[in-house]
Amino acid sequence: MRTQVGIIGAGPAGLLLSHLLHLRGIDSVVLETRNRDQIESTIRAGVLEQGTMDLLTEAGVGARMKAEGALHHGFELAFEGKRRRIDLTGLTGHSITVYAQHEVLKDLVAARVAANGALRFGVSETSIHGIDSDKPSIRYRHEGETCELQCDFVIGCDGSQGVSRASIPQALRKDYERVYPFGWFGILCEGPPSSDELIYARHERGFALVSTRSPNVQRMYFQCDPKDSVENWSDDCIWAELHARVDSHDGQRIVDGKIFQKNIVGMRSFVSATMQHGRLFLAGDAAHIVPPTGAKGLNLAVADVRVLTQALNAFYVENRTDLLDSYSETALKRIWRAEHFSYWMTSMMHRIEGASPFEQQLQVAELEYVTTSRAAATAMAENYVGVAAV
């Protein structure tokens, strides 16, 4: 089989890229190890920046997001017994939308299917060949057969555990990494929102985050041991922990509900530089990971796709290679800004085992500063909504 652009991974990066290319008359095939049901039901991100919403809208997949997503004009920081608001819209003129990643994926898959897009679920043994030539290919197994996809370009959108990144020779790549000694315990529960806006809480017992999914489904997280297991936590223990970390700041109780989903994720910062070699380009989590505190991962994947779509379009329409050549450099500017922001927010909000009383007071001083200085609050808000200068 032959196509113009072979895409590995049907996450937000791979599906959105495929659809934007289709709208520009460029053919692609998306190969995905999991099945449709799995990708449409895995619970992950929830916060979309304005730029992400704009690109989804431009791709023609924004209708349900606009109708069902919740526009948020600010969020709250809770610490030392107080809750203070960061006025995103007042400080930056921008807002964010809370709309679950798996809903974005449902919208993208539906759009690809409606456009007769080539989308292969359940592939295995994916491998990449010939990226140093102008005829690269992807080999994989699908429905019991060994297949080869010949293409002009291979785009690795296969997330942090994929095969693409390793296809760039290690000698040409520099990996930057930081592993955090904590994780997030996430729950979905039935019930009304506890607050009109997200609450990021710093507490001596550890970080907690109150988010939402819909008027009837809520999303909450609390800092935990990344090696812990969800089986060790009864619903009562989870609620006791969340109440202890969030309610204490102003006495308002978060609303308990029936928990129907629990998961634990580790936290890591990672950047692969370069993000390209020959005819192979990486996008999204395949090239970089952020800890979730700044809500940047999905948004960065979408930002890579914007840059790559323009570069591939310039190649096919104008026979230009300059935007492809500078892809990694262009994308990495935004990525490093988001890496710093996510690291900064994570470090300020989490309980750090072994931190001295002095270091703990520095966290509090920083929170005091970003919630009282307009300049500092604006810097935080610009980064959160995704318009910080890079």
**Which residues in this chain contact ligand FAD in the complex, by CB under 6 A?**
8-14, 31-34, 39, 44-47, 101, 123, 126, 157-159, 161-163, 184, 186, 265, 284-285, 292, 295-299, 301
- How far, in Å, CA of 302 to CA of 65, rounded? 15
**296 belongs to the catalytic site:** yes
- CB-neighbour burial class of residue 353 (10 A; exposed 0-12, middle 13-18, buried 19+): exposed
SS3 280: strand
The residues with which 49 forms a beta bridge, in sequence order, are 96
Site string for ligand DHB, 38-77 (x = CB under 6 A): -------xxx------------------------------
Site string for ligand DHB, 254-273 (x = CB under 6 A): --------------------
HEC string for 290-359: CCHHHCCHHHHHHHHHHHHHHHHHHHHHHCCCHHHHCHHHHHHHHHHHHHHHHHHHHHHHCCCCCCCHHH
Taking the least distance from each CB to ligand DHB, the nearer of 131 and 209 is 209
Catalytic residue, candidates 19, 22, 72, 249: 72
- How far, in Å, CA of 292 to CA of 312, rounded? 30
Query: What is the layout of strands, in order, in the sheet containing 217-224?
Result: 82-86, 75-79, 199-201, 208-212, 217-224, 174-190, 259-273, 288-289
**169 belongs to the catalytic site:** no
- How far, in Å, CA of 189 to CA of 187, rounded? 6
Type of residue numbered 142: H
**292 belongs to the catalytic site:** yes
Q: Which of 19, 102, 219, 350 binds ligand DHB (CB under 6 A)?
A: 219
Taking the least distance from each CB to ligand FAD, the nearer of 14 and 74 is 14
Query: Interacting stretch for ligand DHB, rule CB under 6 A, among 26-34, 158-166, 272-280, 290-298?
Result: 290-298
Total residues contacting ligand DHB (rule CB under 6 A)?
A: 10
Q: Which of 211, 269, 276, 363 binds ligand DHB (CB under 6 A)?
A: 211
- How far, in Å, CA of 15 to CA of 318, rounded? 24
Q: Which of 97, 195, 293, 346 binds ligand DHB (CB under 6 A)?
A: 293
Q: What residues are labeled active site? A: 72, 200, 292, 296, 384
The residues binding ligand DHB (CB under 6 A) are 45-47, 198, 209, 211, 219, 292-293, 295
